[in-house]
Structure 1
Amino acid sequence: MDSDLRRYLDELVATARDVLGDDLVGAYAAGSVGLGAYQPGRSDVDVALVCAGPLTETAKRTLVARLRHEALPCPARGLELVAYQRSVAAAGNPAPGFEVELNTGAEMPFRCTLDPADRPPTDGRFWYGLDRSILHQSGLPLLGPPAGEAFADLSPADLRHLLIEALSWWLALPTPPDDRPAPGAQDAVLGACRSLVRHRDGVWLAKIAAGRRLLDTGEQAEVIRQSIAARHGGPPPTGAQARAFQHRVRAEIADQPE
């Protein structure tokens, strides 16, 4: 792990323990860090905290104040932190269920949400259940028991519903009206690759690794190759290419009966 990132995560956990005391029972690196795909200068830092019970509003606001970028500078593009009660993490429920959500960083819009009900539906409510599924498989423990013990996975039906919901959310985003390369289209394609690999093979992979697995298993999709190349400076696919691939992935996932 990058030394700056390691130092930052150590300081983050120490700060969270200072705020929450014995109520903090676990801390886990998720996302690209947990999946072994962290790229300095590009990746976010995703962290999940597990607390013994519900947090007071004072504890939530203090945690945000102490962990936001202005107080604890994040060495990455930004920090995406979510805190869950231990019972929620262990339930395998698809609902958001978080205590507090914080997005903060030099290159990330600030977000502080203290109640799942305040999360705008248009921003997507599927992220949390999927993130906890990834944590169940690949969370990196910073404090507490193994992530597979702290986080339960989703049921197959709930997982499929959230994957479909996520793909539908991406498809609803505006795209350029012509066939010019669309900024961000590569992330939409590679995110769909990750969903398809999870659906087919039962494993979460980092986005580029998921794209490569599909290519290695015979998936004939030039849009995947172009999306991987775009991650290394090449032009992204067009919006039309990305949407066509996403529609195909969503149709395959939705076709499986309950």
Structure 2
Amino acid sequence: MTALRCTGLGRSFGALKAVDGVDITVEPGARHALIGPNGAGKSTLFKLVTGTMRAHAGTVELAGRDVTRLSEVARCRLGMSQTMQHASLFGSMTAAETVALAAARHEGGRISPLPRRRSAVRARAGERARERTNVTAPARSARPSVARTCEELLAEVGLADRRDVPVPALSHGERKQLEVALALACRPLLLLLDEPAAGMSPAESARLLELLAGLPAEITVLFVEHDLDLVFSLADAVTVLHLGRVLLSGTPDEVRASETVREAYLGAGRREELFFT
């Protein structure tokens, strides 16, 4: 069974076919990159996969289940989680409070906007996670079965020592790390990352690469990224989009060796090296 399968996926805006009959298969446990020149249709395809935008044609299957007509929330409940290109976090909370809120909400807890209730939300999130430590996973067993505490999630993304820091005081890279923790709080089967390294310094990108490389093997990752050094350091499969269609899907070495891919990025009249080995 595949983690994700898109078949004949399409979306048009008037006469423009932003995504045009796209077929993609993402295998369980893969680190699958989606790349392509600007305007290739990557962001639109991501929205079709996550359910934030409706497809005009084709199907989306998550772990063998057709989710094409399901909402973004319903897909999340079935094991699909994502981070956005631009971070959207609560500026009035600390890193720990933000993660605790996400964990509590996913596990069915009630959320209060009142500051005095935040410590209670954090405590409930930790208790709920510990209660589930010995619970057998439901029928969708490919999904990680154990909820993690706020502290475990922060440690997993390298923010254990920043737990009490207000979100506005975190660096850009740290906020990106925090978003990954929020996505992991949903215990995803499939984690989608939309340009996770956007705006990062080389040092921040290196920390992000280490974080993503260390994610549990049972979590499948599909990510859009323009930083090709990160792509080819992390991905074990790469799909190249061009003008809304799949230009090539294969191993990193196959994509590196493709003259067609070079031409799509650089133009047929140019021969500069695009990918570095």
Q: How high is the TM-score relative to the length of structure 2?
A: 0.27
- Greater helix fraction, Structure 1 or Structure 2: 1
Name which one, 1 or 2, has greater alpha-carbon Rg.
Answer: 2
- Greater strand fraction, Structure 1 or Structure 2: 2
